[in-house]
Amino acid sequence: MLFVCEKRAALDVVFHRLKQAGLDRLACLVHDSQEDKKEFVFDLRDCYERWGKNDPQLQHEQALRQRTADALSRHVGAIESFERAMNMVPAGNADAVRKLVRRLIALPEVVDDVSPKVRERLPTPLAWDGQRDLANRVTHFMSQRFGRPSLSGHPFALLAASTVASDQCYASVERLISDAQQRLDSLDAELEAPDTLLEDDTVLADGLMRAGVAKSACECGLAHNLDTLDPTSSASLELDRVIVQIKSTDAAYAEAARVAEHWRNPLSREDTVAALHQAKLLEGSFFKFSSGAWRKLRRTVRERYDFSAHAIAPTITSVLEKLAAVYAADDKRAAERRSAAHGLGITDMDGFIATRRQLAEQSAMNPSVRTMVEAARASSDPAAFMLREARPLAALEALAALWRISILPTTC
């Protein structure tokens, strides 16, 4: 490329800029075509010889150019991937992502906090666009006729579809209202009681949850031992120790049962004790085959135990000892449960442990249950408090059944 300028200063500036860019080796500055001819020829020869040979600088420039080209290719690839994603039409949509984003930007901001449970019930954009005209007409009709901003504002939106579609819709609604009023009337005493958490604005689901939990706690005896719900209390720490011991006895029983798994029809506890006593007396005797008692014992055990499961058949005494070990382990774990239940003043230890675990989980996840447990522990008589909370369970369940049949979930 030839660059000609009338002013020498301009040529010097351009050459200086090329030099700053590292291109001075590829440029030749000529101010006088006669005086600078020799210098121009020599510079051209040197430049040709340098670029025609294995010049390290040339390799560096080529590597730099390759890196730049690779980086540009990666960026171009990212842009192409973005363009493909924006032009893709997702499942359940009629428009590409780019158009959906533009529509989202153009739409007004959503102020209502719609829960994920409600969102998953919403129609897909494809289904919505297909019914857009109908939705607009319904919205306009609701606004003109009932002064409601949307179909969800109509009272019928609170009713189940089966109720609205009934041939006697109004009669059904009137009957349901009467039934609901009767159930609410049965709750008046509980709502007016000063010593209960059930109030007029209590959510039906929360009331049901609290009453059900309270009933379970009363039935298993947990209501008398609410301190075991506090992980730091001495009662809770002692119960955890007992649970570990119970699990240990359960593991020992499971191992004993595994060892004695080849008993097809195990003897009873009493028969096992008697048979084991006879086996220890007779099996080692030289005259055992002449004993009718031994022959009967041997025949009975062989009928009930699978000796074919062993490569070498065990002795009668050993298989009876295995069965006796199962009964001993079972007795030990039952005794451990009875001892723990007696200390807590309950009868069903397994039910107590399961209810305690469930109540602890529900208290952690449900603020309503947690409030009830804290209030019960703070009261002078926690068991009586939980009993009062369990009292309205039947009425709440009847009201919830009515709601499930005809009306969407709401507050009681």
pLDDT digits (tens, 9 = 90+) for 187-214: 888 888 878 888 888 888 888 899 999 9
Q: Give the pTM.
A: 0.56
* 121 belongs to a structural domain: no
Domain count, the chain: 3
* 27 belongs to a structural domain: no
357 and 336 in one domain? no
Predicted confidence band at 106 (pLDDT cuts at 50, 70, 90)?
A: confident
309 and 283 in contact (C-beta within 8 Å)? no
140 and 179 in one domain? no
Last residue of a domain, one of 344, 364, 391: 344
Last residue of a domain, one of 285, 309, 344: 344
290 and 143 in one domain? no
* 396 belongs to a structural domain: yes
* 177 belongs to a structural domain: yes
* 336 belongs to a structural domain: yes
263 and 392 in one domain? no
193 and 183 in one domain? yes
- Tell me what pLDDT residue 54 has: 56
* 13 belongs to a structural domain: no
* 53 belongs to a structural domain: no
187 and 331 in one domain? no
Give the CA angle between residues 389, 158, 214 to the nearest 5°: 10
283 and 142 in one domain? no
Give per-residue pLDDT as tens, 270-288: 999 999 999 988 888 777 7
CA 141 centroid distance within chain: 42
326 and 271 in one domain? yes
326 and 282 in one domain? yes
Gap between the Cα atoms of 55 and 171, Å rounded? 99
Domain enclosing residue 337, as ranges: 234-344
DSSP 3-state of 305: strand
Last residue of a domain, one of 344, 363, 385: 344
Give per-residue pLDDT as tens, 338-393: 999 999 999 999 999 999 999 999 888 888 899 999 999 888 899 999 998 998 88
340 and 241 in one domain? yes
CA 358 centroid distance within chain: 16
What does the block give as tokens for 271?
Answer: 């028969």
* 20 belongs to a structural domain: no
What letter represents residue 409's amino acid?
Answer: P
- Tell me what pLDDT residue 273 has: 93
Gap between the Cα atoms of 394 and 374, Å rounded? 24
